[in-house]
Structure 1
Amino acid sequence: MMKFENTGIEKLKAELNRLDEVMEAHGLVRAGQWDYERVTYDRKFEMKDEIFYLRVQGYALEGDVDTFKATIQLMTPLLGKHYYPHGVEYGEGENFPASLVNSCEKILEDVKEEVSKFAL
């Protein structure tokens, strides 16, 4: 696993609907990955025979995710590798391709810039 520390994303709080729009515009999909208090946005990357996921998580400071009326505090983004059939591993010691890391950093920078415009 790789954590993207100090991106500034972990300092942002935003309204859920607008957050969903920005994340989706950058390929980060919430899909069914949520409960009443938490959200998870994932973007899948397929490189050669490997699958990676960029993950941005958040939790509701107020409101409920299921009503689409919630203020979300974002958390430190993660990069994980998918292993069949176990799922995504966020264990230590992974080697991630530099091009993938650079792509993720650019996506996170763009997301931060856009979310900052309406952050609470």
Structure 2
Amino acid sequence: MKLENTGIENTVIDIQSLDHITAKHAFIRAGQWDYERATYDYKIGSNEKNVTYYIRIMAHSKEGDVDKRSAVVTLLPPLIGKHYYPHGVEYGDGEDFPESIVERANTLLKKVSEELQYYKK
């Protein structure tokens, strides 16, 4: 599920600042990057059997390399995904997301967006 009007989409920021801000809010990048893209995930546990939710922030390099931590990136609209064990994460519009998960995502993304304003390029 794409989250619109979060204040994050289209933000231009250097990758080191983005790494700092996302880590501060418990988003994990880990090995989810290549030379042009980086993905940050926030995991939300669920009482549903074999289901975990994720809030995902994605960045695409505008200039420089993500692997060298010299990139300036543009952020895409965040997503909420639902992981079905053992099949994988679904982000489709046909998925149902509990209102509490959507509210939690919007609250967290608002905090991230506020911090991003200090580092925008």
Unaligned runs of 5+ in 1: none
CA distance in 1, matches of 2:68, 2:94: 39
CA distance in 1, matches of 2:104, 2:85: 24
CA distance in 2, matches of 1:114, 1:98: 25
Identity of aligned residues (%): 48
- Per-residue displacement from partner, 1:47-93 (whole Å, max 9, x unpaired)? 10320110010101000001011101000000010012111011222
Q: TM-score, normalised by structure 1?
A: 0.95
Compute the RMSD of aligned alpha carbons.
0.9
3-state SS of 1:66 partner: coil
CA distance in 1, matches of 2:109, 2:93: 21
3-state SS of 2:27 partner: coil
2:86 aligns with: 85
1:22 aligns with: 21
Paired AA for residue 114 in structure 1: E
Cα deviation for residue 18 of structure 1 reads: 0.9
Unaligned runs of 5+ in 2: none
Mapping for residues 32-43 of structure 1, pairs under 5 Å: 32-43=31-42
- Per-residue displacement from partner, 1:92-111 (whole Å, max 9, x unpaired)? 22111111111110111111
Cα deviation for residue 6 of structure 1 reads: 1.4
More strand by share: 1
CA distance in 2, matches of 1:111, 1:92: 24
CA distance in 2, matches of 1:52, 1:78: 10
Cα deviation for residue 20 of structure 1 reads: 0.4
More helix by share: 1
1:103 aligns with: 104
